[in-house]
Amino acid sequence: MKRNKNIAWNRVEPSSLDLEKTKVVIVGGTGGIGRALGRFMASRGASVTVVGQTFRDAGVPGIAFIQADLSLMREAERVAKALPAEQLDLVVFTTGIFAAPKRQETAEGIERDMAVSYLSRLVILREIAPRLGKDRPAAPMKPRVFIMGFPGTGQAGTLDDLNAEKSYSAMPVHMNTVAGNEMLVLDAAKRYANATFFGLNPGLIKTNIRDNFFGKDTLKSRIMETMIGLMTPSPETYAERLAPLLVSPDLEAHSGAMFNQKGFAILPTPKLTDGSYVRAFLAASEALVPRAF
């Protein structure tokens, strides 16, 4: 990743944030980074809605829950239509898994990592983005959308086999979702003038995102996550570091910007600045969705 030195923001103490009346949706907010972020923002006064499969924060003030299986595009569409996008201040996409050693396919015929980590976000974003902010009181900042992935890492995807039907290898398949999420940010920043859009690269954080690859609760998984935990920030530490960035007024003129684990702006993947390639990739992505309906 290369730093983008044209973008800077004024850092404030997370404990100084006043998020009263801030309406937040975190897609993937029931575990890992999303859960830590939701809990922290709620503790600072935000009204947070989390979307996921298993709610772990019942009774926590300020957090509501929408249950959904985001491996299914029908579910992603249902959630998107249910979200009060017109009134939201902030939407954060954190949901994701890692491709399994052997190809997995959803009931809708889509490779599972592609469905969960990227296409569900595409479906939700396409539905809510035009509605963002329409019924929102006047505010100094437009509604914001943050898409978490690994932007700026040089991944451009495999355009002619997004569903991994010609060949399958876990790492290239997951890199398709990495490329797709970065392109969602770059495309949305140009497509929707009513909101601003940003990419987040958290780097390695100890979460359960790799369970699908290493095996849930296996010795290999426990060893790997222990090592990652020793060397990297916890989800809670990263969430506190991230929260001031999400609401910084300094980002308002920089829709399409990407940020690394420490909150520094980074440059996009060079190939993804080619608008024709981005349009082709998104068209191929959108062509996968109708098979679910």
* Tokens found for residue 216: 């849930």
Answer for the pair 239, 37: CB distance below 8 angstroms, yes or no: yes
The pLDDT tens digits of the residues spanning 207-257 come to 665 555 555 667 656 666 666 655 677 889 999 999 999 999 999 999 999
Mean pLDDT by 10 residues, the chain (293 residues): 94 96 95 95 97 93 96 97 97 92 94 96 98 90 96 94 94 95 98 97 70 61 62 85 96 98 96 95 94 64
User: How much of the chain exceeds pLDDT 70, in percent?
Assistant: 89
pTM of the model: 0.93
Q: What is the dihedral of CA 181, 186, 187, 193, to 10 degrees?
A: 130
Q: In whole angstroms, what is the distance from residue 247 CA to residue 244 CA? A: 6
pLDDT at 214: 57
Residue 8, amino acid: A
246, containing H or E segment: helix 235-246
Please provide residue 60's backbone torsions phi and psi, each rounded to the nearest 5 degrees: -75, 120
Distances (CA, A) of 44 to 23, 47, 48, 143, 186: 12, 9, 11, 19, 30
Q: Please give the full DSSP string across 70-94, using - where no structure is assigned.
A: TTSHHHHHHHHHHS-GGG-SEEEE-
259, containing H or E segment: strand 258-259
pLDDT at 204: 66
pLDDT at 99: 86
pLDDT at 88: 97
157, containing H or E segment: none
Q: In whole angstroms, what is the distance from residue 139 CA to residue 144 CA? A: 12
193: which residues sit within 8 A by CB, 6+ positions away?
A: none
